[in-house]
Amino acid sequence: PDLFQAPDYYNLDDLLTDEHKMVRDAAREWVKRDVSPIIEEAAQDAKFPKSIINGLAEIGAFGPYIPEEYGGAGLDQISYGLIMQEIERGDSGVRSTASVQSSLVMYPIYKYGNEEQRKKYLPKLASGEWMGCFGLTEPDHGSNPGGMTTNFKDKGDHYLLNGAKLWISNSPFADVAVVWAKDENDRIHGLVVERGMEGFSTPETHNKWSLRASATGELIFDNVKVPKENLLPNKSGLGAPLGCLDSARFGIAWGTIGAAMDCYDTALRYAKERMQFGKPIAGFQLQQKKLAEMITEITKAQLLAWRLGVLRNEGKATSAQISMAKRNNVAMALNVAREARQILGAMGITGEYSIMRHMMNLESVITYEGTHDIHLLITGMDITGISAFK
């Protein structure tokens, strides 16, 4: 497994700059050295491996596109995508941690925060000294976050925050939480809530069969006094959290290619070595069909992600374009994982190979950051001009 070959069937490397390749190769090396050897056990034990936080910071996974003056890596969108691809080749849960830290915590502080907030939080988040989480989903409001009931009241010198968030990645160990809540006029704002504030707790959600190496939990606010300077002042309304999701969904569109590549690479090598009926199973037409369809779908997903990266570098990508890529590429990776698992026969269900772990992880990825259905309806809304949600 340590001889991972990234498929590049359409010579996409020709479209990458030297910097892109350098950033990708550094991330690939790190994943091979520091993630792959420990991740299976972490997933089996359902423990987030904190030992990888420093490495994630070193490869630029915390704030790849946040300017260097705030501790970010100052890279472009394609480098960001390539880092996510390499991390998710290791594990979707590790990529989740990086996605949340970068796109859902650092991005809103950078984009919607003031200068003091940027200086206070971003460098520590970029170095991994502080870890963050993003609280949008509630027990009764998942696909429809606009219906949230978490709220805060102006108490003169502070805000009083009440409510609860569920399914929050990184919550059990996060130092800071970017929390979306309604003010007294039902307007949504982002607030930075810090661990240690009275009335704030983060119980962990156990018994997941998916993303087991990523910690997931609740955020509970019981009359939490939040200092007024912790409100993100520069954007409000549902568009504020959704704007962060655009960035995270773009990262997922790239990341899932990594998971698919790892499944394909593993299945191809296994099929060439595994003998049945006197020949390698790769010689049977049914197995070739699976492998040929995998590489076709991976290649299409790579093209989608690369073009979207160019559009984002030019500031021209629409939210609907991002939805299409997130939806397509996650489903692609999940299908590749399911087919690859079959190629390995019984071996495919064990932790000796990464495929079953990828497959189970991708069941979360197809649900979070907007479900497969919701992204289809976003495309439907975009092409017809009629919202299926209203």
Give, as ranges, the residues between 71 and 110 that touch ligand FAD (CB under 6 A): 100
319 binding partner (options ligand FAD, ligand TGC, none; Cβ < 5 to 8 Å by kind): ligand TGC
Residue 9 binds which entry of ligand FAD, ligand TGC, none, CB below 5-8 Å type-dependent: none
Q: 295, exposed or middle or buried, with CB in 10 Å at 0-12, 13-18, 19+?
A: middle
Q: State the nearest-atom distance from the C-beta of 263 to ligand TGC, in Å.
A: 19
The DSSP letter of residue 100 is: I
What SS3 state is found at 342? helix
Instruction: Decide: is 374 part of the binding site for ligand FAD (CB under 6 A).
Output: yes
Kindly tell me which of 11 and 207 has the beta carbon lying closer to ligand FAD: 207
CA angle 344, 350, 351 (to 5 degrees): 120
Instruction: Report the SS3 class of residue 258.
Output: helix
Query: Residue 182: phi, psi to the nearest 5?
Result: -95, 140
Give least dist CB 214 to ligand TGC, A.
7
Interface with ligand FAD by CB under 6 A: which range of 132-140, 226-234, 269-277, 280-288? 132-140
Residue 33: partners with Cβ closer than 8 Å, 6 or more residues away: none
Q: Report the C-alpha gap between 356 and 363 in whole angstroms.
A: 11
Gyration radius of the chain's alpha carbons? 21
- Contact partner at residue 135 from ligand FAD, ligand TGC, none, CB < 5 to 8 Å by partner kind: ligand FAD
H or E segment to which residue 188 belongs: strand 188-194
Q: Quote the tokens at residue 174.
A: 């996060």
Q: Which is nearer to ligand TGC, 72 or 132 (CB)?
A: 132
Member of 92, 97, 101, 169 binding ligand FAD (CB under 6 A): 169
Residue type, 117: Q
For position 379 contacting ligand FAD by CB under 6 A, the verdict is no
| DSSP state, residue 33 | I
How many other C-beta atoms are found inside a 10 Å radius of the C-beta of residue 154?
11
Residue 216, contacted partner among ligand FAD, ligand TGC, none, CB below 5-8 A by kind: ligand FAD
Taking CB under 6 A as the rule, does residue 137 contact ligand FAD? yes
CA 151/CA 128 separation, integer angstroms? 29
| DSSP 3-state of 303 | helix
Residue closer to ligand TGC (CB basis): 112 or 270: 112
Tokens of 361: 């992880």
Stretch that binds ligand TGC, among 54-62, 111-119, 258-266, 368-376 (CB under 6 A): 368-376
Report in angstroms how near the CB of residue 369 gets to ligand FAD at its nearest: 6
Amino acid at the residue 53:
I
* Annotation says 369 is catalytic: yes
Shortest CA distance to 20 belongs to which of 83, 74, 65?
A: 83
Near ligand FAD in 189-218, by CB under 6 A: 211, 216
In the set 182, 371, 380, 382, which binds ligand FAD (CB under 6 A)?
371
* Ordered alpha helix ranges (H), 52-154: 53-58, 77-90, 92-99, 107-112, 115-127
Query: What one-letter code names the amino acid at 196?
Result: G
Q: Give the nearest distance from C-beta 263 to ligand FAD in angstroms.
A: 20
φ, ψ of residue 142 to 5 degrees: the values are -105, -75
Rounded-to-integer distance, Cα 255 and Cα 251, Å: 6
Pair of tokens at residue 250: 């773009």
Q: Site for ligand TGC (CB under 6 A): which residue of 43, 52, 100, 176?
A: 100
Residues in 137-176 at the binding interface with ligand TGC, rule: CB under 6 A = 137, 143, 145-146, 169
Q: Judged by CB under 6 A, which of 56, 84, 136, 308 binds ligand TGC? A: 136
245 contributes a contact to ligand FAD by CB under 6 A: no
Helical (H) or strand (E) element with 379: helix 372-384
Among 67-75, 128-136, 181-189, 310-318, which window interacts with ligand FAD (CB under 6 A)?
Answer: 128-136
Measured from the CB atom, the residue of 75 and 136 that comes closer to ligand TGC is 136
**What are the residues binding ligand FAD (CB under 6 A)?**
100, 133-137, 142-143, 167-169, 211, 216, 364, 367-369, 371, 373-374, 377, 389
Residues annotated catalytic, as ranges:
369
**What are the residues binding ligand TGC (CB under 6 A)?**
96, 99-100, 134, 136-137, 143, 145-146, 169, 237-239, 242-243, 245-246, 248, 319, 368-370, 374, 378, 387, 389
